[in-house]
Amino acid sequence: MCYNRPASLGADGGESIYTRLTHEILTGGLNMSVLTGACIIGLSGGPTSVINASFYGAVTTALNTPEITAVLAAEHGIKGVLNNVLFDMRQEDPEELKLLMNTPSAAVGSCRYKLADPSKDSADYNRILETFKQHNVRYFFYIGGNDSMDTCEKIGRFLNYTGYECRVIGIPKTIDNDLYGTDHCPGFGSAAKYIATSCMEVSMDSAVYDTGAITVMEIMGRHAGWLAGSAGLASHFGAGPDLVYLPEIAFDVERFLDDVLELYKRKGSVFAAVSEGIHDNNGVFISDYAAAGDSAKDAFGHVRLGGLAAYLAAIVKQKTDAKVRGIELSLLQRCAAHCASQVDISEAFTAGEYAVKAALNGESGKMAAFEREDGESYKCSPVLLPLEAVANLEKKVPLDWINKSGNGITREFIDYTLPLIQGEPCRATDCSLPRFANLQKIRVY
């Protein structure tokens, strides 16, 4: 079995410039001067079941670095920097910090806050600079997805313009797996594992009666279908969706009905998995059909999706006498730490650790990423990518990883995803319930 990365990720068949740069960083080959000062670590965007592992990787590495005089965590991401609400991580119990490795959500809070272009509106940036100067912050680490890397890039650009020396490194996080340039993103493996596991369980449950049943499961993913495609892992292992629809292929409701009804006539039951971001030929989200024009948006202008499974289930019900269910996994996909991948947890920690080491060796304006080696066995190494080459770009599922009918995935998708969901974490429990980190969050002034 060959675990190849998507062709769109730019594999060059040899040692990349990022791999060479990484070697120089870790061996001290860049010969950068030592920069002494505090660091701020922030979390941004939708949380995952492993974002705290990245946070812990950055925190524990910074705590053990003499050049970093204070390790500060921003409450609710960049908002904490703007409001000067920062927590002193040196005052946390080290044993409690270790529990972050298996704690879901975002331990110090997250946010969705869009910074303006610094060349047009510098108000927020001036406030950020004021906070940095007050605490002598010389290192800034931001954990997040596409929009968070945009925030990171803008801050780095502004600091360069003002001449304030501070190294800025982005740490990848998103269950959507749509960050450009990196082979995969911490958070995806665990979400994919949860989705595949849940699909296997639902598949078994939905077939228990001798009456016809049609199940439609809605899975996260706005423009990239990595999560919905993960439902296909369940099918590959014998119990999963009959149909899988990704947003990379335009969705036709009538064709969907034809697919479902044909299978129902032949099998007596159907299980379909659909990405929340499926859209028609005009780019209109199918969920908008159900929302009746509701155009609520988040801070970055993204339409809030939802209600797709219920809508598709309702139109299927009109055409059949089957028992029809619409299931929306919703937040469970990103907080199911009980079903996390140990590979994902370990790589999330590595991303945080690597980011701090890179900054200490003089790097700035970069994002920690992962580069997969071609071959029969899975091997991935951390690398650096320029923030401007990552921010606001999306990595989608290659079209040749989707079947010709547009309603399933190919073996290439399975081979890519399987290594990322491996391993069962060893978690602390209390009376058979998970024991999560409980930080003191002592504020600095």
Helix, strand or coil, per DSSP, at residue 328: strand
Structure tokens of 294?
């509701």
Annotated catalytic residue 176 = yes
**How far lies 77's CA from each of 87, 139, 151, in Å?**
12, 15, 10
- The terminus-to-terminus CA distance of the chain in angstroms comes to 55
- How many DSSP H helices and E strands does the chain contain? 14, 14
The H or E element that residue 263 is part of is helix 253-267
Structure tokens of 201?
């369980």
Distance (Å, whole) CA 37 – CA 68 = 5
Task: Residue 142: count other Cβ atoms within 10 Å of its Cβ.
Answer: 30
Distance (Å, whole) CA 159 – CA 237 = 51
Asked if 224 and 188 touch (Cβ cutoff 8 Å), the reply is: no
Catalytic residue, candidates 150, 176, 242, 344: 176
**How far lies 112's CA from each of 47, 186, 300, 369, in Å?**
11, 19, 7, 22
Residues 259-262: contacts with CB within 8 Å, 24+ apart?
259/405, 259/407, 260/214, 260/316, 261/319, 261/320
Structure tokens of 206?
């939905």
Residue for token pair 């997805």:
145
Closest of 246, 242, 237 to residue 200, by C-alpha: 237
Residue 39 buriedness (CB in 10 A; 0-12 / 13-18 / 19+):
buried
Structure tokens of 190?
């665990």
Task: Residue 301: count other Cβ atoms within 10 Å of its Cβ.
Answer: 8
**How far lies 190's CA from each of 50, 115, 185, 241, in Å?**
8, 30, 10, 19
120: Cβ contacts below 8 Å, ≥ 6 apart: none
Enumerate the active-site residues. 176
